[in-house]
Amino acid sequence: MAENTDLTTVLNHIGGKEVPAASGATLPLIDPATALEHGTAPRSGPEDVDAACHAAQQAFPGWSATTPATRQTALLGLADALEREATAVARAEVADTGKPRALFLADELPAIVDVLRYFAGAARNLPGAAAAEYTPGRTSVLRREPVGVCAQITPWNYPLMMAVWKIAPALAAGNTVVLKPSDTTPSSAALLARLAAEHLPPGVLNVVCGDRDTGRGLVTHPDVRLVAVTGSVRAGQEIAAAAAADLKRLHLELGGNAPVLVHEDADLAAAVEQLSYLSFYNAGQDCTAATRILVHQRLHDAFLDAFARRAAQRVPGTCDDPHADFGPLANAAQLSSVRGMLERLPAHTEVVAGGATLDRPGYFHQATVVAGARQEDEIVRSEVFGPVVTVQPFTDEAEALRMANAVPQGLAASVWTRDHDRAMRASRALHTGIVWVNTHGTTVSEMPHGGVRHSGYGSDLSLTGLLDYTQVKHVML
């Protein structure tokens, strides 16, 4: 690896102060567009985790006693700070992820700011049952109270967005937070904590950087009462097992493997154009990415031909490339994982677009379309989490639904049809937490984002997500 002398230093944020790991240990940060080291971050150990959890525990009584209006003001202030510091925020995010800067500024940052502003308002609108005499002579009142110290572990595909999806509802509900970002993408989370320090009391939001051992120590820490994770199914299973020992509350947003049902009456041109963009957005590193496209047999060949041609025009590029549709894969391990799945494709499949890495530094991979896959194939049953899409034919509506549901994951799906009744039947029959009709991938702050089965449980966003960070107390007078 070539030497880069212009390195940035990311620090933990504990109790309102920026500090290195107590041991002095660090992890390298690699720019995915060059495969060169661009900085370092702390490799936090038990001492750092304990300090962060202690700071959060100490801050909890004061923060939980604040009024919703006070929390609203803090979250609105943080939202304004992110907008004001957009250039620095984008620099931190792009350095770790390699994603196109223009797309981050146009798509992700406005959505991140909106989430903060939404939960700022939601903090003042907690729903609950009406106070009433449900039995003679007794008045019942329902209180929703914060849970306590929340451990939050976020992934590398949308580092800042996933951090805000976690911290905004937790803080709005009156909890305190210890956030552990991915070991490869901590820069924007550390900057978020620095900006938040202007609006939050010390210890309310803490960030500890590190590896899997850091995360394990955080999950099992006795001060933590709720663990929220966005990550792989395997990570969720391990965390659930570890949290069970202390009966910690869990919020798991895990892997996806989204089916897309394109019926014979669908608008072919619109489906091809939208899906060829959404399937490969963020290099396909999205739990809701349109990865398994199921097309009615009458439309299959025409769709496959048009989709493959359009996919070939979706090009990866560097962060400042104005023509880039997506950036590199986030790290060498993920590129290796995607390559492994393509190299293990069975003989009955065919790569009809892409299929190769780019001959340049970094972790770039072509937008890839695979035809001929069968339900039992790894490429269908497993989440690729890269710029790879399978296209399969189906004969009728019932078969399409069987194929869509025949995987362990259940996060999102979409249905493309002009038939309203068919769309409604599919929205009822699909075993997923989200169903889009004639669109795919759009999220809004007001609606929940979560899955079923191996995609986890609990919801980000919406009032549902806010309530996940509260516990109910019945008071009878």
| Cβ count near 62 (within 10 Å) | 13
| Integer angstrom CA distances of residue 354 from 38, 71, 277, 316, 419 | 29, 49, 15, 11, 33
> What is the torsional sign of CA 60, 66, 68, 74?
negative
The dihedrals phi and psi of 316, each to the nearest 5 degrees, come to -80, 155
Chain position carrying tokens 């966003």: 461
DSSP secondary structure of 38-51: EEEEE---HHHHHH
- Name residue 192's amino acid: L
Q: Is residue 93 flagged as an active site residue?
A: no
Q: How far are the Cα atoms of 45, 201, 262, 264, 346 from residue 169, in angstroms, in the given order? A: 27, 17, 35, 42, 45
User: What is the Cα–Cα distance from 111 to 115, expressed in whole angstroms?
Assistant: 6
The helix or strand, by DSSP H or E, that contains position 264, with its residue range, turns out to be none
For residue 101, give both structure tokens: 């800067």
Catalytic (active site) residue 238: no
256 closest CA partner among 443, 476, 87: 443
Catalytic residue among 253, 319, 383, 397: 253
Burial 211-250 (b: 16+ CB within 10 A, else e): beebbbbbbbbebbbbbbbbbebebbebbbeebeeeebbb
Angle at 350 between CA 335 and CA 315, to 5 degrees: 45
The residues that are catalytic are: 253, 287
